[in-house]
Amino acid sequence: MFRVLVADSIEAEGLAALREAGLEVDARAGLDEAALCEAIANADAVLVRSRTKITARSIDAARRLRVITRAGIGVDTVDVAAATRRGILVTNVPDASTTTTAELAVALLLALARHVAQADRNIRSGKYDRARFLGTEICGKTLGIIGLGKIGRIVADRALGLKMRVLAFDPFLPQDAPPIPGVALVDKDALLTHSDFLTLHCPLVDATRHLQRNDARELQTWGSIGERGAWRNRRRARVSRRRSARGRSPAPRSMSQKSSRSPPTPSCARSIR
């Protein structure tokens, strides 16, 4: 019988589906490398998620392994070169958690705009400083997206649905990529200058390392709600507050009102409407 080693935790329904397909399932999550080498020795296939790493050592210990499956996006937990040398097929699930991740990014964006985490801590401490946590509307604001892959495109679609303007920067986007109506492609400097909020959706590889610099100038401009998710442009927020103090609302006009002025578009923008 074809034996599958499930080396990371998956839902019971997933294990049941494998068994119903006539496979022998050996579910052992949390193995260290030595234990993994022992468990993988008699497996025909191994399934992992994000925690367990399939290294060259564990691949060499596999006597009859034919398939390595990463139940997620990417194959960064698998030594693909070592598997290739052994003629072992490496597969993944490229659309896994794509929508979920994009929706989480939008949730973090809203939390950043409305100071949700700070207000929660304030309330739990027995205070109610309501005026400190009014936040800002995202309607009419500009979202900058670095990385316009599957997740980035879903984020752009959701942002457009929330009546945001969307700019995107992706140096690896092919010229024949399918367009997203309402999204303008710009260079990175223009994106950082014209965006009110920023979100990153690209893998950490040599080509993208240090793509977003952490120098003093950028740290003074962008405030984040964590290592991942969304950043807010503090400089543009200060401009909005000054406009409000002068009696000019930074919020956009109603969709039913006509405006004689349209928001500025970066001169380097390449519309893909």
Greater model confidence, 75 or 270: 75
Per-residue pLDDT, averaged over 87-106, amounts to 93
Largest alpha-carbon pair distance within the chain?
Answer: 76
Query: Residues 110-139: what's their mean pLDDT?
Result: 92
Distances in Å between the alpha carbon of 169 and those of 29, 135, 164?
A: 39, 27, 16
Average pLDDT over residues 174-190: 85
More reliable by pLDDT, 58 or 261: 58
Q: Which residue has the higher pLDDT, 209 or 109?
A: 109
Model confidence band, residue 235 (pLDDT cutoffs 50, 70, 90) = low
What number is the average pLDDT over the span 218-242? 49
Return the minimum-mean-pLDDT range out of 158-172, 176-190, 226-240, 251-265. Answer: 251-265
Q: Distance (Å, rounded) from C-alpha 150 to C-alpha 52?
A: 25
3-state secondary structure of 245: helix
Alpha-carbon gap, residue 140 to 111, rounded angstroms: 17
Query: pLDDT category, 12, cuts 50, 70, 90?
Result: very high
- Where residue 234 falls among pLDDT bands split at 50, 70, 90? low
CA-CA distance, 92 to 203, in Å (whole number)? 15
Share of the chain above pLDDT 70, in %: 77
For position 73, what pLDDT does the model report? 83
Confidence check: pLDDT of 66 > 80: yes
Confidence band for 44, pLDDT divided at 50, 70 and 90: very high
State the burial class of residue 128 (Cβ atoms within 10 Å of its Cβ: 0-12, 13-18, 19+).
Answer: exposed
Amino acid identity, residue 90? V
How does residue 188 score in pLDDT terms, banded at 50, 70 and 90?
Answer: confident
Can you tell me the distance from the alpha carbon of 230 to that of 143, in angstroms, rounded to the nearest whole number? 10
Whether 78 has a pLDDT exceeding 90, the answer reads yes
Residue 67, beta-bridge partner list: 45, 89
Worst-scoring range by mean pLDDT, 32-46, 118-132, 209-223? 209-223
Decide: pTM greater than 0.75.
no
Let me know the angle formed at the C-alpha of 241 by 236 and 246, rounded to the nearest 5 degrees: 125
Using pLDDT thresholds of 50, 70 and 90, give the confidence band for residue 25.
very high
Across the range 190-196, mean pLDDT stands at: 90
